[in-house]
Amino acid sequence: MAAFAPKTIVFCTFFLLLTTLSQSRAALDVHYYDKTCPQVEKIIFQTVYNASMHDPKVPARILRMFFHDCFIRGCDASLLLDSTPGNQAEKDGPPNISVRSFYVIEEAKAKLEAACPHTVSCADIIGIAARDVVTMSRGPYWNVLKGRKDGRVSRANETINLPAPTFNVSQLIQSFAKRGLGVTELVALSGGHTLGFSHCSSFQARLRNFSSVHDVDPTMDSEFALKLRKQCPKPNRDHSAGELLDSTSLL
Ligand SMILES: *[C@@H]1O[C@H](CO)[C@@H](O)[C@H](O)[C@H]1NC(C)=O
Ligand SMILES: *[C@@H]1O[C@H](CO)[C@@H](O)[C@H](O)[C@H]1NC(C)=O
Ligand SMILES: *[C@@H]1O[C@H](CO)[C@@H](O)[C@H](O)[C@H]1NC(C)=O
Ligand SMILES: *[C@@H]1O[C@H](CO)[C@@H](O)[C@H](O)[C@H]1NC(C)=O
């Protein structure tokens, strides 16, 4: 995984200290940076666009980063914080394998610090970057509400609250409901997840020795299951093996 330069952590922490000292709980606002950093969205877009042109995996990774960050303690950029000797951070929790490309957020933050120092939170950068990668991938555009504060607590063990790839529908509904998200949001976010790639480890339990009665999960399309079995040979020595979540999408 690309190392997250300490420089950015310093920026974020500094911003955090400034804002927690002075802020009460204010409403989020599309125009939050209109006066203090009017070029915020342009700077983030340029950075994300350039990175995506160099590496087509960036959009899926940024979108996943936003989801993983928001699901734990809200959209507070706590996923960006590094582990310390006394604390294993969210970033180093078991589901971290799919979350990468932190350098893109770091680059945007560095440019924003140059343009408007100590103004834009990392939480807002991830939110805007996530919207940009969706739009860039021919998804919708939406106005990002800004003014989110960066969190300072990040615990690897809390990533257990992310919905597991093995969850069935009722478990997913329950998991999202705990975050105040309804079935509409569950469907929309799952649809967003079709951008990108899934490792065999996330779905191979459905392909072999599924139960005492069925070798393959009987709720799966059998032709599709057969195709996935070819992608995930057993024993699966290739840990990078897997399949695009949507065969019609790019990475
Ligand atoms: C564009 O992205 C590449 C790869 O991440 C990076 O090396 C380069 O500095 C970026 N250029 C600009 C103008 O941001
Ligand atoms: C994920 O976190 C573990 C520690 O829990 C660490 O050993 C591993 O290198 C991390 N993986 C990535 C891709 O950063
Ligand atoms: C995570 O660990 C902290 C202490 O390190 C503990 O207070 C907390 O309850 C744990 N959370 C979960 C979800 O296990
Ligand atoms: C989903 O999984 C849970 C836990 O294994 C189980 O109790 C529940 O019956 C399952 N629901 C459906 C609809 O399969």
Question: How many Cα atoms are found within 13 Å in the side-chain-facing hemisphere of 244?
Answer: 9
Q: Residue 52: which H helix or E strand, with range? A: helix 40-54
Q: How far is the CA of 1 from the centre of ligand 2 (A)?
A: 8
Nearest Cα residue to atom 3 of ligand 4: 171
**Is the beta carbon of 53 within 6 A of some atom in ligand 2?**
no
What pLDDT does residue 197 have? 82
Residue 155 Cα: closest atom of ligand 3:
1
Q: Which helix (H) or strand (E) holds 243?
A: strand 242-244
- Secondary structure of residue 106 in the 3-state scheme: helix
pLDDT at 189: 85
Burial level of 47, CB count in 10 A (0-12/13-18/19+)? Answer: buried
| pLDDT of the residue at 25 | 52
The angle formed by the CA atoms of residues 14, 19 and 22, to the nearest 5 degrees, is 135
Residue 200 tokens, joined: 């065999």
Task: Give me 155's structure tokens.
Answer: 């615990």
Query: Which residues 6+ apart lie within 8 Å of 26 measured at CB?
Result: 147
Task: Please tell me the residue having the least CA distance from ligand 4 atom 1.
Answer: 168
142, 74 contact by CB (below 8 A): no
Task: Compute the half-sphere exposure of residue 77: CA atoms within 13 Å on the CB side of its CA.
Answer: 28
pLDDT of 9-41, one tens digit each?
Answer: 434 443 443 333 334 456 899 999 999 999 999
CB-ligand 3 contact for 87 (6 Å cutoff): no
- CATH code of 2-169, in short, is 1.10.520.10
pTM of the model: 0.82
Question: For residue 161, which atom of ligand 3 is closest to its CA?
Answer: 13
Nearest to 78 by CA among 107, 42, 68: 68
Taking the centre of ligand 1 as the mean of its atom positions, its distance from the CA of residue 110, in whole angstroms, is: 13
Catalytic (active-site) positions: 68
Using 70 as the pLDDT threshold, list the residues of the chain that sit under it. Answer: 1-26, 97-98, 235-237, 247-251
Q: Is 146 helix (H, G, I), strand (E, B) or coil?
A: strand
pLDDT at 100: 82
Q: 87: CA distance to ligand 3 center in Å?
A: 11
What pLDDT shows up at residue 15?
Answer: 40
Q: What is the pLDDT of residue 76?
A: 95
Distance 48 CA to ligand 1 centre (A): 9
- Name the token pair of 66: 């936003």
Which ligand is nearest the CA of 86, by number?
3
Task: For the chain, give every residue range classified as CATH 1.10.520.10.
Answer: 2-169
Query: What is the per-residue pLDDT for 75?
Result: 94
**DSSP code at position 164:** P
What secondary structure letter does DSSP report for 190? H
**Start-to-end Cα distance in the chain:** 17
Q: Where are the alpha helices (DSSP H) in the chain?
A: 6-22, 40-54, 58-71, 102-115, 122-136, 169-177, 183-192, 222-231
Q: Beta 197-199 vs 242-244: how paired, if at all?
A: antiparallel
Q: Which one of the ligands is nearest to 73 CA?
A: 3
